[in-house]
Each structure stands twice: as C-alpha cells, then as structure tokens.
Structure 1
Amino acid sequence: NEPAVTLAHSRLVADVQAQQGLSPRESARAAMVSAETAAAAPKHAIDQAVALERSLLGSATGYAEATNTLKVPVIDLNSPDAAEQMWQAASTVGFFTITNHGIPQSAIDEAFAVSGEFFGQDKEAKYKASPFAKNMNSGYEFMEQVRPSTGTPDQKESLQITARASAMQGRWPTHPPHFQTAANTLMDTSYALAKRILALLEPKACPQLAPGTLAAAHTLWSPGGQCTLRMIHYPPTEPYDPSAESNTGARLWRAGPHTDWDALTLLFQRPGEAGLECASNPNAPGGVKGGWVAVDPMEGGIAINIGDMLSRWSDGKLYSNLHRVRMPTPDECKPPKSRYSIAFFMQADKEAMIESETNEPITAGDYILHRIQSNY
C-alpha cells in the first residue's frame, strides 16, 4: 500500500499549499477572520465543539510548533489523593497520564501486535475485511477523516471497533486469526479502567447526578452501546522542518487540532513514537494561545483526556481540550517510520441523556452522529 500512501500524501501537500500558501498580510487577515468566526460561534450546544475547531481554519495557529516545555500531570492511581490530582488535571488542562492503572502490559502489547499485522495488509484487503460504515462509526478507513480545523484529511488509516453487535457484523478482521480476542481483551480492561476514572471524577464534576450514573450510562455490547476501540496507523512521512525555504513541512500535521467526542479517552502509545500534543491553555480564545504541550509516550503510562460529552455533563467544569498529532522531527525520521496508537473512547450509550444546568438535553446517539457528519 506504499504507493497509495505516497499518492495520498502528495495530494495532501497540494491541498495544504493551495489552502495555506498565504502572504503575511493574508495570514493576518485569516487569523482575524478566525477570531471573528470563534466569536460568532453557534450557541447551539451541539455545534460548539465543531465551531471551535473551525475557528482554527485558515490561520497558522493549528500548525505552530510546541512553544514550551510543560508536561501534562502524571498521576499514580494507587496514590491516596489520586482523585484530587485527577480533578485538578481534568478541570485545568483536560489531559493527564496515569500509572499503576491495572491493565496488563501483555494485553497492550498483543493489541499493538495484531494492529500491526492488520495494517500490514494491502489497502484493498483491509477494506474488504472491515468495510467502513459511517453511520455505525465502525470499520476501516484510509485518510477519510477531515478535521474542521484543517479542511484536509488526517494522514492516517484506522480501524474502528464499536462495541455493538450490529456495528461489527461483517466487520471483524479475520487476519490475524486472534485479532478479535486481542482487541476484546484490551477493550474490556480499558472499559473497566474508564469506569473507575469516571467514578473518581463524578462527585465534583457532576453533583447533579446520582452516584454511579456516569458509569452506568456506558456499556459494552448492548444494543445502544457506542464505546469504541480505535487502532491507528500513521504511515512514514517527511519531517517537520521550520527552517526549510518552503513552509510545506511546517504546515502539515498527522492529525489536525480537534477535541474528542466522547466522555473519556484512554490512549495507548508506544515509546519512541511521540507526536501527540494538547493546547496548554484551554481558557484562551481558540484554546491554543499558550502554545502546545507534548503528551509523550511513557513506559507503563496511559494518556487520558476529557471528551466533549463529559465536559458537557459537568457543565464545563471539566475541559475537553484541543489536541493534535504533529509531524515528526528530522531526528525522528532517521529513517522515516510509522506511528501506531490505540485509543479507547468511552462513549455513552445512544439513549443516554446528556444534560446539565446550562446545557440543553441531547442524547449521546444524536451527539455522536452530528460529530461524525462534521468529520467525514
């Protein structure tokens, strides 16, 4: 599938050059338009997150280098004050890394192993094994997700495994043979951990809810289940090079700035495959005024971030922060290599009603469908 990757990459470069080849005056005007767009963002709650992402379109904000050396908090789940540490992180930057999480490293390694074997097939075989169904949010896709913040496809391929029987009918890969077992093992353990985290955050974040409401709103393999395990592969690519005469290298991304649609995301990364960054100041206009902060892989750690659903449930007490996957640096491209990650999205069941004091009620099913429509 390398020629297809190269062709798609060339098209992406052309799109970016056409869209972002701005003079300084044009860039300033684009930034002004973006600010005006953000100020005029729709008040309808379903559209707020999409409007935030679209406000970055046409400006250089989404492509700038990380400008500081800050790191997201690291929280030991065995610590007696883990709940308070988690609250502080979730209510300020919306990102943190957890250790002593209880998921066996063997389960994580096995999931990455089957992911690599699946993505190692040619593109036609992957589409045939797990055809993408947008309305189900499941199956294989290759550079089909277009972020509202960029207007061009993310440089990745992914496999969505949504924990609902109807979503996965005819979409379970049979190569490698133990794929389903490995994926389900990581999904089950991730789900248990996500419920534990929700229980720790719920008392302060959602005092209007009866204890246990958040966890109960999320199920695996029920008729309305929406939790998803997403295996992601970013093919080898050219490095980010801000010193190059052409701005092309500095204006590309592997995944454009976005917020997650779910309640909670657990992201598994491999050491030596960095690139994830979050906005350092979610209170700033556009959420990126303070620059970008690395969320690097950590041995024995899992990156956690708050999603739009939980931010909405908490009436904004918890932050669903913008994040992106940057281009690799020149040193990371010696030689060019792939980046793999696996995300577990804790997404409330379709019929779950998400509401808070200042947010109108909306079902989780409607919310997810709306976000899918804005991205594909």
Structure 2
Amino acid sequence: MTSAGLSNTLPIIDIAPFLTTDPQDADKRAATAAALHSACVEFGFFYLNLDAYVDRSEAAELARLAKEFFALPQEEKDKLSLKNQDSARGYARLNENVTNGKADAHEGLDLYKPVDKPDKTKPVWGENQWPTVPGFRKKYEIWVEKMKVLGLVVMEAMSIGLGMTREEWAELRSQVDDSFWVMRVIGYPPLPKGHDGFSCGAHKDYGCLTFLYADPTPSALQVFLRRPGTTEADKTGLPSEQGSEKGVWISADPIPGCVVCNIGEMWETWTDGLYRSTLHRVVHRGSNYRVSVPFFFEPNFNALVKPLDAVARTKANEGIDPTPTRKPIVYGDFLVSKVGNNFAVEGKGRYDS
C-alpha cells in the first residue's frame, strides 16, 4: 500500500454478471458496479475480465493479423497512408506520430466509425483504409461490433456505480448508443539501446472508455498512479512526463482473458472531476515486435457531454456545493479540435493533450 493507503496494483473486474439477466446475479452486478466505481476514482485504469464474453483466440488472431500487416514491405503499407484520406484514417509510419513534441517509436493503422457522405477534406470524415491481408477486415469488424456492445454494458454498470436512476441511465445511453468509435492497430519495434524516448509518450485518452488488447509482451505499458505525498521517484531513467504531480509509474502487463480498460476525459466532465483520466505511455525495450489493439468507445458525434445530476446529488448529500465546475462539451467538436491539429500544427500529435 502507498502512504495514502491505496494499492499500486490495478484491480481485475469480471464483467460476467452484466452479461446475464438472472435475478440471482443481482448482488454480483451490484458488486461489479461498486468495483468499477472504486477503480475509476482510485486509478482511472483497471483490467476487465472478458472470458465470459469473447474467446481468447479471437484477440490472439487480431495480433497475428496485425503482425502480418506490419511485416509487409513499406511501400505496401504506404498505400494506406493517412494523406490518402482525412489525415485521421489510415496508416502512419514509424516515428510519424508525435506526442509531447517527440516522435513516437511505433507505426499504426487508425480506423473510425464509418460516416454518411464521406468527405476526406473534413477532419475524421473520410473512409477507412483496410489492409488486403486475408481475413484482416472481417476479423477486425467482428471485434468492433463486440467492443461496441461491451461499451454499453460497461457504461450501464458504471451508471449503477454512480447511483444513477434508470431514467438517468436511459438519457446517458442515448448519448453513447451510436458511438463514434475509434480503433488503432499499433506496432512497436524494440527501442534501440540507449534510446532516451518512448515507444508512445505519456498522454491521457480524451474520449470515453478504452479497451486495450495487447500481445503478451511484458513491461511495456506504463500507467501513472497519482499518489499525493509519495516520495518514490520514477525509476525508469526516462524524462519526467507527469509534471509536478506526485505518484509512481507502474507496469500494466497483459493478463490472459483480460483487456486493460481506462477512462477518458469525457468521464471527467460527466462526473465533474470525480473520475479522472490517467496518464499512460509505452516503453518497449524488449527484443520482440509488440502489437496492441486499443478500441476507443466514444460518445455519439453530436452528444452533449455535461455533468451528471447523480454526481451533483451525491455532492449535495455530502454537504459539498453541487454546482458543476465542468462546462458541457459537444463530443464531435472536441474530437475535431484534437484530431484537427493534424491539419494546422506542424509537429503536434493527434493524441497530445
């Protein structure tokens, strides 16, 4: 335990109770909802056990297909270049993405929710570019559909953890039921010896929920846990990326049957700061080629994200001023303000905060 009495180990939460309507599972659902609430308050990160939802072989197949794509000749991958579309959908070369002003040592393929009347001159409004690797598109589209359903399941569980009424949940659900999802397929070669940077620099996710599947590579994904008063320094020998915040970087190694889940900045607005998005980064110093597949379950493009009445109610019950401190956000506008930086600011990454 830390000096603040909090664990430095991410919790593992089983979503199985929310995949059934059996009345006998009501207590288990309540326990899962409470665990999600605690994880979001204390960590902003947790493991989600999906063994009751997807077969482990499905995720492993995604990794195999990703490695097959990244092993293609550079000229083949470049045929899917971001510049062919809206500079958001497509393939980015090694070191092409930038975080915090520094090139990230990874390559990636970005996919977004298909839109009506695509227009590649508009940010995020182009068309997805799919590899010709046999089976790639089919397997990934199946995963997308499963993650969209999972997003709604986890959102409902979180609404219970926050003490929302059924009517309040229905209203929140209407803001995420046509998720403007994003999926990245990312390849990480080993960092060269003595490299003073990152495979992916420290950042916070700006959306709703991230479901990350990664191959079994250990000691790559790192999460910053805010621990006020701690004196434990960052022992990685890397440049500080957490500013003046006190805390510790931990490894969030893959666990079989689980995805790593974290909350994005939209949850900060919904909860008026009760839940906070957490810094994380990738430092891959192993000898293998690592792949990861993060799925970002986001609000609807036109969703108005604003502090929830349930949070204000909890504050009032605790004698705290319930007046919201966060301003409402239209998610699509917020997204374009982030991704749109690719169009105007040289050297600024779309995932920079």
Q: Shorter-chain TM-score: which interval? A: 0.7 to 0.9
Establish whether residue 315 from structure 1 lines up as the match of residue 272 from structure 2: yes
Task: Judge conservation of contact 1:72–1:294 (CA < 8 Å) in 2.
Answer: no
Establish whether residue 349 from structure 1 lines up as the match of residue 300 from structure 2: yes
Aligned match of 2:328: 361
Equivalent in 69, 75, 95 of residue 124 of structure 1: 75
Task: Quote how far apart the aligned CAs of 1:347 are.
Answer: 1.4
Task: Quote how far apart the aligned CAs of 1:295 are.
Answer: 0.8
Task: Quote how far apart the aligned CAs of 1:273 are.
Answer: 4.2
Name the % identity: 25
Aligned match of 2:175: 217
CA distance in 2, matches of 1:264, 1:340: 20
More helix as a share of residues: 1
CA deviations 1:337-373 (Å, max 9, x no partner) are: 2111000001112211111222222211111112222
Establish whether residue 254 from structure 1 lines up as the match of residue 199 from structure 2: yes
Aligned residues: 288
Task: Judge conservation of contact 1:274–1:297 (CA < 8 Å) in 2.
Answer: no
Structure 1 residues 175-190: aligned runs within 5 Å = 175-190=132-147
CA distance in 2, matches of 1:78, 1:115: 28
**Structure 2 gaps, min length 5:** 1-6, 18-27, 119-123, 230-241, 308-323, 342-347
TM-score (norm 1): 0.70
| One-letter amino acid matched to 1:153 | A
Equivalent in 15, 23, 47 of residue 77 of structure 1: 15
CA distance in 1, matches of 2:127, 2:154: 32
Task: Quote how far apart the aligned CAs of 1:103 are.
Answer: 1.9
CA RMSD of aligned residues (A): 2.7
CA distance in 2, matches of 1:212, 1:294: 36
CA distance in 2, matches of 1:98, 1:259: 19
Q: CA 1:369 to 1:135, structure 2 compared with 1: closer, same or farther past 3 Å?
A: farther
Q: Report the secondary structure of 2:168's partner residue.
A: coil
Aligned match of 1:233: 187
| One-letter amino acid matched to 1:265 | T
Task: Quote how far apart the aligned CAs of 1:261 are.
Answer: 1.3
TM-score (norm 2): 0.74
Aligned match of 1:298: 255
Task: Judge conservation of contact 2:113–2:182 (CA < 8 Å) in 1.
Answer: yes
Task: Judge conservation of contact 1:154–1:254 (CA < 8 Å) in 2.
Answer: yes
CA distance in 1, matches of 2:45, 2:260: 7
Q: Report the secondary structure of 1:161's partner residue.
A: strand
Task: Quote how far apart the aligned CAs of 1:286 are.
Answer: 4.2
Task: Quote how far apart the aligned CAs of 1:106 are.
Answer: 2.7
CA deviations 1:89-112 (Å, max 9, x no partner) are: 111110000113512223212222
Q: CA 1:271 to 1:287, structure 2 compared with 1: closer, same or farther past 3 Å?
A: farther
CA deviations 1:287-317 (Å, max 9, x no partner) are: 8522101111001111000111122111111
Q: CA 1:213 to 1:144, structure 2 compared with 1: closer, same or farther past 3 Å?
A: farther
Aligned match of 2:98: 146
Aligned match of 1:195: 152
Equivalent in 337, 341, 347 of residue 370 of structure 1: 337
CA distance in 1, matches of 2:163, 2:329: 16
When structure 1 is superposed on structure 2, of 94-103 and 179-188 the one drifting more is 94-103
CA distance in 2, matches of 1:308, 1:170: 26
Q: Report the secondary structure of 1:181's partner residue.
A: helix
CA distance in 2, matches of 1:287, 1:87: 26
CA deviations 1:198-226 (Å, max 9, x no partner) are: 11112444849821333332355xxxx52
Establish whether residue 272 from structure 1 lines up as the match of residue 217 from structure 2: yes
